[in-house]
Amino acid sequence: MSDVILSVKNLSVEFATEDGVVHAVDNVSYEVKRGQTLAIVGESGSGKSVSSLAVMGLVRSNNATVTGEVHFGGQELVGLDPEEVRKLRGLKMAMIFQDPLSALHPFYTIGEQLIEAVQVHEKVSDGDARARVKTMLDRVGIASAEQRMDEYPHQLSGGMRQRVMIAMALINSPELLIADEPTTALDVTVQAQILELLRDLQKEFGTAIVLITHDLGVVADMADDVMVMYGGQAVEQAPVRELFYQPQMPYTWGLLASIPQMHTSSLKLDPIPGTPPSLINLPVGCVFAPRCTHKDLVAGGLCLTTRPDLGAVSDTHASRCHLNEAQRIEIRRSRNIGKVD
Amino acid sequence: MSAPILRVKDLQKHFPVTSGNLFKKQVGEVRAVDGLTFDVYPGETLGLVGESGCGKSTAGRSMLRLLEPTGGSVEFDGQDLLAMGKRQLVSMRREMQMIFQDPYSSLNPRHTIGSIIGAPFDVQGVKPEGGTMKAVQSLMERVGLNPEHYNRYPNEFSGGQRQRIGIARAIALKPKLIVCDEPVSALDVSIQAQVLNLLDDIQKEFGIAYIFVAHDLSVVRHISDRVAVMYLGKIMELTTRDQLYSAPLHPYTHALLSAVPIADPDRERARERIILNGDLPSPSNPPSGCVFSTRCWKATDRCSSEIPVLREISAGHQIACHFPEDRSSATASSTVSGTDFTAN
């Protein structure tokens, strides 16, 4: 068995709309290893959610085009019969969403929904399925699980609903879990509980996790590898420590400099000027160039005319930027970003 | 220090819980805000922080009488707000403004930006020098909007720009106090930083005091001079920013701070974690004694029977707890050993 459970190559997703073609995801490639966590970071409209929905085979509207390759456990998912993908979903790969209230069905009890998740993939008697559900609910920390199974989603708190979602996602021990902003709707003390739970379950089941988030604190906490997305593209990919301590791309610098830090009372934030690009009308050159404060350092206005490739910085680290290495070190030193020796 | 601009004493806001369709009768009450006492000084930022349902937004609104408080007193600039008649209150609003969380629902979609930002002048009958339009355009310029967009509608602006419009409207009459209710939580990080910097600059320029209501502890740390931590309608701890973040004394503050992930992998993975059990209790049926006692790992019988009052434990440091954390050994994490600590 290979170590890589999910391998995405040149994935693109486009939506044809009345206003033009939306390039939601543009040529994104990444790999996720068994038992590891890849965090996909980006702001709203960066394509981070759509790219994961495409992996799960959930981008199915008539106006959408998905191209590229998605190898999952040795199987190619792009172009596969939707019925076949459906059999994998919930069994081999599962997903949890930001808002557990709208992801759970309001008319069915927690128990009914979880039992269905078992029985849809496996011929199990009602009694056995119920026992399995109870074990799983206990495992995710739901007190008096037996009683909770007969309750409806609205009777649970936000944190409990997210635990139910996690139980449902993991009940068939999938090899891959995609978690789309799983803690964004939760309070910090509850977020801490849920992240702890995900970490424990990952250790126990060896699940690979793709964690989609905008919170760099959560990334620092959970990720092994990180992919930063902007304007539908992967602009930087690196192991987590390299991304935080040797970031190479001006957008990543901007993100790191924009967040107020929890461990110091910094004086001034260093925000990214401007607003994100429209995915219909992407800039010709670097997608980040219109907001980049360093583009004048590159000769000939290259940033505005030519899109930089996702170039290798090291074996494990890639970034999209025309600046040369000396310039990047100089800028990071002057803006005090990451660690510069 | 100068006299406080706002003095809040024992502020309460209770919402009735009713049952029955035709003959409604009150069957209980939600004590959303239950006895807040604090002062705000001119030009400072007081952060009001807590989890959802702790009453921080209700508190912000009750202070300005956007919600009618159930009890207590609010003194603004030496005048009793709660005793004021409607007309007097309206003219008082010139001095105190509000910025809302949702920049989509807080701007009327049928009004142009010019009329939204100019509304405070009309309402208060103020004739700015050079005319309203000129004043509005200079405000737009001040908050980083293009003055030529005077005649555009809110839907033509992004979330960050809309929040700038809300800020321009709030500072139009040069108020002494602005209550900012989660002003950046709907924004992406890069835009959030722009708006935080703008709020900072404006405060320095006009000397406005802010009450900054937020759930994001790192944002509150960044912007506040002093911070009040709320839990279930009460203040648990109130002190200067640096003291609160480096040496919290209330167990809840301690747990809350330890729950926030740090955007630095080495620090993040080495930090102390206190994982609280369970969820926030319902404010309609709060625990007896200390409201935090049901989730506190230090709670004793005394905590569930006797309500701890907010008392000054050292100069400028108030706390409502029978058993404050021991900081005598000076290190921030001395009281809880081990990294994965689960409170029971």
Residues 243-282 of B with CB under 8 A from A: 245, 255-269, 273, 275-276, 279-280
Q: How far apart are CA B166 and CA B143, in angstroms?
A: 10
Q: How confident is the model at residue A178, as a pLDDT?
A: 96
Q: How confident is the model at residue A267, as a pLDDT?
A: 66
Query: Would an 8 Å CB–CB cutoff place A224 in contact with chain B?
Result: no
Residues 147-176 of B with CB under 8 A from A: 158, 160-161
Q: Which of B258, B263, B269 sits opposite A216 (nearest CB)?
A: B263
Intra-chain end-to-end CA distance of chain B, in Å:
43
pLDDT at residue B156 greater than cutoff 60: yes
Q: Is B20 exposed, middle or buried (0-12, 13-18, 19+ CB in 10 A)?
A: exposed
pLDDT at residue B333 greater than cutoff 50: no
Identify from A228, A269, A336, A337 which residue to disrupt to test chain B contact, counting B C-beta atoms within 10 A and taking the largest count: A269
Residues 171-210 of B with CB under 8 A from A: 188-194, 196-197, 200
Residues with Cβ within 8 Å of B324's Cβ and at least 6 positions away in sequence, in order, are B249, B250, B313
Query: Would an 8 Å CB–CB cutoff place B26 in contact with chain A?
Result: no
User: pLDDT band at B342, cuts 50/70/90?
Assistant: very low
Q: How confident is the model at residue B76, as a pLDDT?
A: 95
pLDDT in tens, chain A (341 residues): 468 999 999 999 999 999 899 999 999 999 999 999 999 999 888 999 999 999 999 988 889 999 999 999 889 999 899 899 999 999 999 999 888 888 899 999 999 999 999 999 999 999 999 999 999 999 898 888 999 999 999 998 888 899 999 999 999 999 999 999 999 888 888 899 899 999 999 999 999 999 999 999 999 999 999 999 999 999 999 999 999 999 999 999 999 999 988 777 766 788 899 888 889 989 999 999 999 999 999 998 999 999 999 999 999 999 999 999 999 999 999 998 888 76
Query: Would an 8 Å CB–CB cutoff place A89 in contact with chain B?
Result: no
Residues with Cβ within 8 Å of A12's Cβ and at least 6 positions away in sequence, in order, are A23, A25, A26, A27, A28, A65, A66, A67, A68
Q: How confident is the model at residue B328, as a pLDDT?
A: 63
Residues from chain A that touch B255, judged by Cβ atoms under 8 A, are: 189
Distance from CA of B183 to the nearest CA of A (A): 15
Q: Which domains does chain A have, with CATH numbers?
A: 4-109+158-228 (3.40.50.300), 253-335 (no CATH)
Q: How confident is the model at residue A158, as a pLDDT?
A: 85
pLDDT at residue B309 greater than cutoff 70: yes
What is the tens place of the pLDDT at every residue in B90-100? 989 999 999 99
What DSSP element (H or E) covers B34? Answer: strand B25-40
Q: Do B265 and A218 touch (CB under 8 A)?
A: no
Nearest CA in chain A to B332: A263
Distance from CA of A185 to the nearest CA of B (A): 10
Residues from chain A that touch B344, judged by Cβ atoms under 8 A, are: none
What is the tens place of the pLDDT at every residue in B269-297? 998 888 888 778 888 888 999 999 999 99
Q: How far apart are CA A205 and CA A208, in angstroms?
A: 9
Query: Would an 8 Å CB–CB cutoff place B97 in contact with chain A?
Result: no
Q: Do A265 and B190 touch (CB under 8 A)?
A: no
Q: Do B189 and A43 touch (CB under 8 A)?
A: yes
Q: Do B275 and A157 touch (CB under 8 A)?
A: no
Q: Do B263 and A256 touch (CB under 8 A)?
A: yes
- Tell me the one-letter amino acid at B134: K
Distance from CA of A266 to the nearest CA of B (A): 7
pLDDT at residue B25 greater than cutoff 90: no
Nearest CA in chain B to A239: B265
Domain spans of chain B? 1-17+29-224, 247-344
Query: Would an 8 Å CB–CB cutoff place A62 in contact with chain B?
Result: no
Q: Which of A44, A254, A261 sits opposite B263 (nearest CB)?
A: A261
Q: How confident is the model at residue B138, as a pLDDT?
A: 94
Secondary structure (H, E, C), chain A: CCCEEEEEEEEEEEEEECCEEEEEEEEEEEEEECCCEEEEECCCCCCHHHHHHHHCCCCCCCCEEEEEEEEECCEECCCCCHHHHHHHECCCEEEECCCHHHHCCCCCCHHHHHHHHHHCCCCCCHHHHHHHHHHHHHHCCCCCHHHHCCCCHHHCCHHHHHHHHHHHHHCCCCCEEEEECCCCCCCHHHHHHHHHHHHHHHHHHCCEEEEEECCHHHHHHHCCEEEEEECCEEEEEEEHHHHHHCCCCHHHHHHHHHCCCCCCCCCCCCCCCCCCCCCCCCCCCCCCHHHCCCHHHCHHHHHHHCCCCCEECCCCCEECCCCCHHHHHHHHHHHCCCCCC
Q: Does domain B1-17+29-224 have CATH number 3.40.50.300?
A: yes
Residues from chain B that touch A214, judged by Cβ atoms under 8 A, are: 188-189
Query: Would an 8 Å CB–CB cutoff place B95 in contact with chain A?
Result: no
User: pLDDT band at B336, cuts 50/70/90?
Assistant: very low
